């Protein structure tokens, strides 16, 4: 169970703070796969990374992160080391580049485990079982990364990242560089890992919302550093209450929709600068239903069980 | 209007060019007047190579590309310039298409120097503003700015506007919206539909099936440099004939239907450089029969306008 309360992270630049993540408050239950969606620059990667590796120029401003009843010292890189990999793990965006090219896969895993005080040979039987599960031969342990295809590397990294059964897994854009057929297999593996209890909670960061509809239990939508809406996937797609979520879903081309029959519309305008963002709801300028109340920041409230939204029009 | 006849492209790799990589093999299709054709394929299918071949950025190995009846490879000097007046490309990364040191509208000035040296300044600025309006931009907002001051969607429209300054007939759009944000990409997509209404033909190269469905009249599905299937978009999508197309349609994440609950790791295809006898998809194909491994299937017309290369 992950609880995030008022987490605020800024980027320090010469011209001031870029307010990339503002007062994020949400929970993820055990066994929940939460999708984190939004456009580029909305703070989704900042949020994901701040839970595991908050490095400069990211600056911790405030808030608490509690994982399984224990507070994570996310502001302290050294103290976080004890939690990283063991309790919180990450599948990075470019898994193909995440492997050390000068080490055989097995040796690299051994070194990684050793740095966490775990004996490689104790874990080896489980490692082999998991390689079987993702349909990789045990020979990959004796291979160099260059000998594997993109999809195989991706699966290897997934197995390595979850080997110590972390409580929280963060998957950052793991499908964006893959072909549709491989994409589907990778996504289904994430579900399988959850079902088998390798990980408790999963956060999938992606810009591809249709992937989330397939595998996520809930979806958190962000806009310009603020949380807009969190709800079970079905509700996000069928009954979203935040105007941004609705417009975003409405702008997605789907198989079965053609421009001649149904012309989709984008959202006019562009997100605000986060260096000195305007006060209040940051979607205000592009919002078709904005009114004078929107100059105040709307609170992220639960309007029905499991459905949170930050919009004055929705309460 | 544009026709590709048995187009093949082989890249030579390695220190002395000893290895061969067959990027495109025996591809034949046409793009008609006012038609949007989407060229769909996964990475390594040769879709971008076809775009580059049409734009003559790389030479053909064999086959012919004809534009309005003339063989494109015979063009040079003045006639090549005339070709570029009519055929232009826009590519994936809008930020990479601009020199960050110069203002973004330099691309228009270069067009004027190259193609319209005689035009006077007022006429020219009217033409530029017209083109910018045609792509949905407000000229005062975007002119005289550096690339970093504009968004990806605006830059991509800039490039389309640049093409519109010429007497463009055919636009090669290579993954032009895959780098754009969800809320703006559909506007660029609609822009293509508007251009079609103005009489343009478009070759829309994409890996995203839903985009291809939204915009195109005809779809060409490529697999490892070969055409697996092509035909009217709704037939190809709703009644796919090739097992590869079927697999794609099943795997594409949709918003109206969830995936079947079943893990299937696709067998990896062999490297494209390997010589293949028979159908290139046979090693991954669930329906493969003996003949698939021995002989390459021809592209056959299964119903009016709908072609498929499969023995089954």
Domains for chain B: give ranges and CATH numbers: 2-308 (3.40.50.300)
**pTM confidence score:** 0.85
Residue in chain A lying closest to B42 (CA): A179
- Contact between chains at A181 and B247 (C-beta distance less than 8 A): yes
Task: Pick the residue of B35, B216, B252, B255 with the most A CBs within 10 A to test the interface with A by mutation.
Answer: B255
Q: Which CATH number fits domain A2-95+166-309: 3.40.50.720, 3.40.50.300, 2.160.10.10, 3.90.1580.10?
A: 3.40.50.300
Q: Which residues of A touch B251 (CB under 8 A)?
A: 180-181, 183-184
Q: Which residues contact B271 (CB under 8 A, 6 or more apart)?
A: none
Q: Which residue has the tokens 């205000």?
A: A284
When pLDDT is averaged across residues B19-27 and rounded to a whole number, the result is: 87
The answer, yes or no, to whether residue B29 has pLDDT greater than 80, is yes
- Contact between chains at A39 and B256 (C-beta distance less than 8 A): no
* Predicted local distance difference test score (pLDDT) of residue B180: 77
B27 bridge partner residues: B7
Helix (H, G, I), strand (E, B) or coil at B97: helix
Q: Which residues of B touch A146 (CB under 8 A)?
A: none
Q: Which residues of B touch A181 (CB under 8 A)?
A: 42, 247-248, 251, 266
What Cα–Cα distance (Å) separates residue A148 from each residue in A23, A183, A188, B173, B285? 42, 17, 20, 32, 22
Q: Please state the ipTM of this predicted complex.
A: 0.77
Of the CA atoms within 13 Å of residue B271, those in its CB half-sphere come to 8
* Predicted local distance difference test score (pLDDT) of residue B272: 43
* Predicted local distance difference test score (pLDDT) of residue B276: 63
Instruction: Give the closest-approach CA distance of B259 to chain A in angstroms.
Output: 7
Instruction: Give the closest-approach CA distance of B203 to chain A in angstroms.
Output: 16
- Contact between chains at B256 and A256 (C-beta distance less than 8 A): yes
- The residue ranges of chain A whose pLDDT is under 50 are none
Residue A257 contacts residue B212 (beta carbons within 8 Å):
no
When pLDDT is averaged across residues B241-246 and rounded to a whole number, the result is: 91
Q: Which residues of A touch B233 (CB under 8 A)?
A: 258
B142 confidence band (pLDDT: 50, 70, 90):
confident
Structure tokens, A261: 């029959």
Q: Which residue has the tokens 């509700």?
A: A235
Q: Which residues of A touch B195 (CB under 8 A)?
A: none
Q: Which residues of B touch A184 (CB under 8 A)?
A: 251, 253, 259
- Contact between chains at B255 and A258 (C-beta distance less than 8 A): no
Residue in chain A lying closest to B259 (CA): A214
Of the CA atoms within 13 Å of residue B14, those in its CB half-sphere come to 8
Angle in degrees, CA A296, A299, A300, rounded to 5: 145
- Contact between chains at A185 and B253 (C-beta distance less than 8 A): no
- Contact between chains at B185 and A264 (C-beta distance less than 8 A): no
- Contact between chains at A259 and B181 (C-beta distance less than 8 A): no
- Contact between chains at B182 and A39 (C-beta distance less than 8 A): yes
Instruction: Give the closest-approach CA distance of A187 to chain B in angstroms.
Output: 9
Report chain B's mean pLDDT, rounded to a whole number: 86
Q: Which residues contact B76 (CB under 8 A, 6 or more apart)?
A: none
Q: Which residues of B touch A265 (CB under 8 A)?
A: 186-187
Residue A111 contacts residue A160 (beta carbons within 8 Å):
no
Residue in chain A lying closest to B255 (CA): A210
Residue in chain A lying closest to B214 (CA): A258
Give tens-digit pLDDT for B58-94: 999 999 999 999 999 899 889 999 999 999 999 888 8
Give tens-digit pLDDT for A225-282: 999 999 999 999 999 999 999 999 888 887 778 888 888 888 888 888 888 899 999 9
Size of interface A-B (CB pairs under 8 A): 125
B44 confidence band (pLDDT: 50, 70, 90):
confident
At A291, give phi and psi (nearest 5°).
-140, -175
Helix (H, G, I), strand (E, B) or coil at B241: coil
When pLDDT is averaged across residues B282-306 and rounded to a whole number, the result is: 85
Instruction: Give the closest-approach CA distance of B129 to chain A in angstroms.
Output: 20
Compute the distance between CA of residue B245 and CA of residue A75 in angstroms, rounded to an integer: 49
Question: What ranges do the domains of chain A cover?
Answer: 2-95+166-309
Q: Which of A189, A213, A258 sits opposite B214 (nearest CB)?
A: A258
User: Which H or E element spans position A114?
Assistant: helix A105-115
Side by side, the strands of the sheet bearing A70-71 are: A16-28, A2-13, A58-67, A70-71
Angle in degrees, CA B166, B177, A184, rounded to 5: 150
- Contact between chains at A256 and B251 (C-beta distance less than 8 A): no
Give tens-digit pLDDT for B215-235: 999 999 999 889 999 999 999
**Percentage of chain B modeled with pLDDT above 70:** 95
Instruction: Give the closest-approach CA distance of B48 to chain A in angstroms.
Output: 15
* Predicted local distance difference test score (pLDDT) of residue B273: 42
CB atoms within 10 A of CB A167: 18
Q: Which residues of A touch B247 (CB under 8 A)?
A: 181
Task: Pick the residue of A184, A191, A244, A265 with the most B CBs within 10 A to test the interface with B by mutation.
Answer: A184
Helix (H, G, I), strand (E, B) or coil at B115: helix
Compute the distance between CA of residue B63 and CA of residue A51 in angstroms, rounded to an integer: 55
Residue in chain A lying closest to B186 (CA): A266
Give tens-digit pLDDT for B263-288: 455 545 444 445 567 888 887 888 88
Q: Which of B43, B183, B234 sits opposite A266 (nearest CB)?
A: B183
Instruction: Give the closest-approach CA distance of B252 to chain A in angstroms.
Output: 6
């Amino acid at each position: 169970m992950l609880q995030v309360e008022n987490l605020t992270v800024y980027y320090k630049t010469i011209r001031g703070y870029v307010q990339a993540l503002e007062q994020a408050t949400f929970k993820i239950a055990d066994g929940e796969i939460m999708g984190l969606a939004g456009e580029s620059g909305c703070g989704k990667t900042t949020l994901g990374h701040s839970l595991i590796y908050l490095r400069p120029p990211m600056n911790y401003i405030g808030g608490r992160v509690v994982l399984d009843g224990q507070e994570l010292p996310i502001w302290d890189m050294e103290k976080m080391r004890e939690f990283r990999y063991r309790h919180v793990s990450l599948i990075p965006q470019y898994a193909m580049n995440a492997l050390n090219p000068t080490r055989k896969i097995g040796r690299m895993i051994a070194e990684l485990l050793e740095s966490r005080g775990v004996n490689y040979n104790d874990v080896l039987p489980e490692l082999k079982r998991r390689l079987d599960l993702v349909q990789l031969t045990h020979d990959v342990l004796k291979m160099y990364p260059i000998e594997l295809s993109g999809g195989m590397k991706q699966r290897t990294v997934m197995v390595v990242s979850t080997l110590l059964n972390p409580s929280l897994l963060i998957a950052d854009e793991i499908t964006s560089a893959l072909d549709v057929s491989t994409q589907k297999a990778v996504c289904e593996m994430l579900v399988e890992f959850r079902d088998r209890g390798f990980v408790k909670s999963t956060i999938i960061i992606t810009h591809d919302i249709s992937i989330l509809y397939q595998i996520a239990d809930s979806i958190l939508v962000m806009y310009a550093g603020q949380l807009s809406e969190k709800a079970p996937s079905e509700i996000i797609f069928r009954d979203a209450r935040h105007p941004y979520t609705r417009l975003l879903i409405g702008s997605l081309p789907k198989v079965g929709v053609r421009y001649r029959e149904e012309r989709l519309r984008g959202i006019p305008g562009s997100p605000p600068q986060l260096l000195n963002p305007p006060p209040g709801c940051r979607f205000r300028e592009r919002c078709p239903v904005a009114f004078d109340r929107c100059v105040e920041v709307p609170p992220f409230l639960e309007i029905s069980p499991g459905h949170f939204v930050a919009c004055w029009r929705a309460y | 209007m544009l026709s590709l006849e048995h187009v093949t492209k082989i890249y030579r790799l390695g220190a002395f060019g000893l290895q061969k990589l067959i990027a495109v093999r025996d591809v034949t299709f046409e793009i008609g007047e006012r038609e949007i054709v989407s060229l769909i394929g996964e990475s390594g299918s040769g879709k971008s190579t076809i775009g580059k071949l049409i734009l003559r950025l790389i030479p053909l190995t064999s086959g012919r590309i004809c534009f309005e009846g003339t063989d494109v490879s015979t063009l040079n000097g003045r006639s090549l310039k005339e070709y570029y007046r009519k055929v232009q490309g826009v590519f994936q990364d809008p930020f990479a298409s601009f020199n960050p040191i110069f203002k973004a509208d330099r691309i228009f000035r270069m067009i004027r120097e190259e193609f319209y040296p005689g035009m006077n300044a007022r006429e020219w600025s009217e033409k530029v503003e017209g083109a910018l309006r045609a792509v949905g931009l407000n000229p005062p907002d975007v002119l005289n700015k550096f690339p970093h001051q504009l968004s990806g969607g605006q830059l991509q429209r800039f490039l389309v506007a640049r093409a519109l300054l010429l007497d463009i007939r055919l636009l090669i759009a290579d993954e032009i919206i895959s780098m754009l944000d969800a809320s703006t990409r559909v506007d660029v997509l609609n822009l293509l539909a508007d251009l079609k209404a103005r009489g343009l033909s478009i070759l829309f190269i994409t890996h995203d099936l839903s985009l291809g469905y939204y915009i195109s009249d005809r779809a060409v599905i490529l697999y490892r440099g070969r055409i697996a299937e092509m035909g009217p978009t709704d037939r190809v999508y709703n009644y796919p004939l090739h097992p590869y197309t079927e697999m794609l349609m099943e795997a594409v994440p949709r918003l109206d239907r969830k995936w079947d609950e079943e893990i299937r790791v696709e067998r990896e295809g062999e490297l494209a450089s390997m010589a293949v006898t028979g159908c290139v998809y046979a090693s991954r194909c669930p329906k493969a029969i003996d003949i698939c491994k021995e002989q390459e299937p021809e592209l056959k017309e299964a119903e009016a306008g709908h072609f498929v290369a499969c023995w089954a």
